[in-house]
Amino acid sequence: MKIPLRLAKNKDLPSIGINHVAETNLCSQTLQLLDEYRAFTRSLSVMLENCTGCGACAKACHSYLGTGDFFNIPAARAGLLRRIFVRYFTWSGRIFGGFAGAGEIERGILDRWVEYFYQCNACRRCAVFCPFGIDTGEVVLAGRNILSRLGIVPSFMADIARNELTSGNNTGILEPAILDSCSFLEEELLEETGLQIKIPVDKPHTRILYLPSSSELFVNSDTLMAAAKVFHYLGLDWTLSSMLLEAANYGLLFDREVMKKHNGRIRAAASAVGAKKVLMGECGHGWRAARMYTEGANGPFPFQLQHILELVAECLPELRLTKLPIRATLHDPCNYGRGAGLVDGPRKIMRACVADLVEMTPNRDRNFCCGGGGGLLMDEMKQIRMQLGEKKAEQIRSLLPLDYIAVPCASCKAQFPLLIKHYGMGEVRTGGVIDLVGKSLDMRGSAVFAGREPNLT
């Protein structure tokens, strides 16, 4: 399936540290980069050498099930890179060539990499069902990293990476706009609750730095307002940072150097406000990048790192909540369920907030991807994303009627309304898990912590 992917222009790449390689050098440079990557990530060689092509991953993959394209079978997709690896980096490939499953490097194969590596959400569900534990999502990310070093990068990702590394957020929001948006949301909170609930920015000597998705200032503002209500209720000393207003880290999805630089900003932003704890907002791959790679990429983390869902789950006994009379379900973002083990906290919160919580089948680490993650929120990918989300739509339809789908990830929040409309599932509200806490929280109990800090670990 040919996808109309817009690639970044050469002038867009130097600002994010990516070099454009001349057409004549593409093949030789690809082999050099593959050699460097397999030395850096030795597990890549293990995964490429041990796939038997048994097909167990086929029915586990929402991409293949949605498109029916053979090369979207995880083993076949990884095979596009495996053929080159076998040919140039194994003795059997060098001696027996095609009989050993080897293939020659050529520009055409790089076009195939772009086409199919960007039809994969890197959700890693294939690894759950592979008898050898082969993580094809990691193979895909290796291929994307190699492509990025060649200067072959989707414009969407290049733009976001440049914004993250210059302004500290995906959309390039500058400090005046940040302050204006927070002021507007404070007015909304005052009108709703009658309380002066602050959303501080760059507050010095603050205990907690909160890193939301930048979308929470505009599109998903209910999530940020709910978080502010919880922090106010608990009497927490917190702030946002104008230099880093983004939990998301798109470098994880295509370029490890971009990921490393953006993760490094967490340390700088926390130091600037004197924070002892960094609290990550509702972003799937952002949480995985921070939790799993920050120390490996940038050294020991001198602050406590926690997800907001973990903190709220711990504080439930201190919150005065009234169950909402709704039927709701929870979507497990791939990078929570399979990437960071964040599955129990969201459920504990939802059971305290809604009258009727129903589970998707399957769920937790076996849940299907919604089709919007992995950096595929590009406009030109919308039609294909609807195909990638077919299995998720089936999960939702089996639970109808529903009042609310909790989607604690910014990318998933962008995908779900489109899926619901595309598959004709009527009016179903979507939003974060924290949104539910904000709606069910009785703010009259906020005085319980007046003048003292709550007992948090």
The pLDDT value recorded for residue 446 is: 66
At the top level of CATH, which class does the domain 19-152 belong to? mainly alpha
Spatial CA neighbour of 72 closest among 90, 58, 56: 58
**Omega within 30 of 0 (cis) for the link into 131:** no
Q: In this structure, are residues 388 and 62 in contact, taking their beta carbons and an 8 Å threshold?
A: yes
At the top level of CATH, which class does the domain 167-315 belong to? mainly alpha
CB neighbours of residue 368 within 10 Å: 27
CB neighbours of residue 106 within 10 Å: 13
Nearest-angstrom CA–CA distance, 212 and 217: 9
In terms of DSSP bridges, do strands 324-330 and 404-406 run parallel, antiparallel, or are they unpaired?
parallel
Helices (H), 213-331: 221-234, 256-273, 284-298, 308-315
Q: What is the pTM of this model?
A: 0.94
The pLDDT value recorded for residue 455 is: 47
Per-residue pLDDT of the chain (457 residues; tens, 9 = 90+): 667 789 998 778 888 888 888 777 899 999 999 999 999 888 999 999 999 989 999 999 999 999 999 999 999 999 999 999 999 999 998 888 887 888 999 889 999 999 999 999 999 999 999 999 999 999 999 999 999 999 999 999 999 999 999 999 999 999 999 999 999 999 999 999 999 999 999 999 999 999 999 999 999 999 999 999 999 999 999 999 999 999 999 999 999 999 999 999 999 999 999 999 999 999 999 999 999 888 887 888 889 999 999 999 999 999 999 999 999 999 999 999 998 889 999 999 999 999 999 999 999 999 999 999 999 999 999 999 999 999 999 999 999 999 999 999 999 999 999 999 999 999 999 999 999 999 999 998 665 444 444 444 4
Half-sphere exposure of 195 (CA within 13 A, CB side): 17
Nearest-angstrom CA–CA distance, 315 and 171: 32
Nearest-angstrom CA–CA distance, 256 and 4: 25
C-alpha distances (whole Å) from 163 to each of 151, 278, 293 are: 18, 21, 21
At the top level of CATH, which class does the domain 318-440 belong to? alpha beta
C-alpha distances (whole Å) from 261 to each of 124, 156, 178, 218 are: 24, 18, 22, 25
| Structure token digits, residue 30 | 């690809």
Q: In this structure, are residues 213 and 434 in contact, taking their beta carbons and an 8 Å threshold?
A: no
Q: Give SS3 for 405.
A: strand
C-alpha distances (whole Å) from 273 to each of 139, 276, 291, 394 are: 38, 9, 21, 46
Residue 330 DSSP symbol: E
Beta bridge partners of 431: 406
* Helix (H) or strand (E) run with residue 355 in it: strand 354-358
Q: In this structure, are residues 142 and 239 in contact, taking their beta carbons and an 8 Å threshold?
A: no
Nearest-angstrom CA–CA distance, 185 and 198: 9
Q: What are phi and psi of 300, to 5 degrees?
A: -55, 135
Nearest-angstrom CA–CA distance, 146 and 254: 9
Handedness of CA 392, 249, 255, 108 (dihedral sign): positive
Measured at the CA of 79, the angle between CA 74 and CA 81, to 5 degrees, comes to 115
Write down the residue that tokens 């007046």 correspond to: 450
Domain spans of the chain, in order of start: 19-152, 167-315, 318-440
Nearest-angstrom CA–CA distance, 178 and 248: 17
Q: What are phi and psi of 211, to 5 degrees?
A: -110, 100
Nearest-angstrom CA–CA distance, 142 and 158: 17
Helices (H), 150-244: 155-166, 175-193, 221-234
| Structure token digits, residue 166 | 């210059």
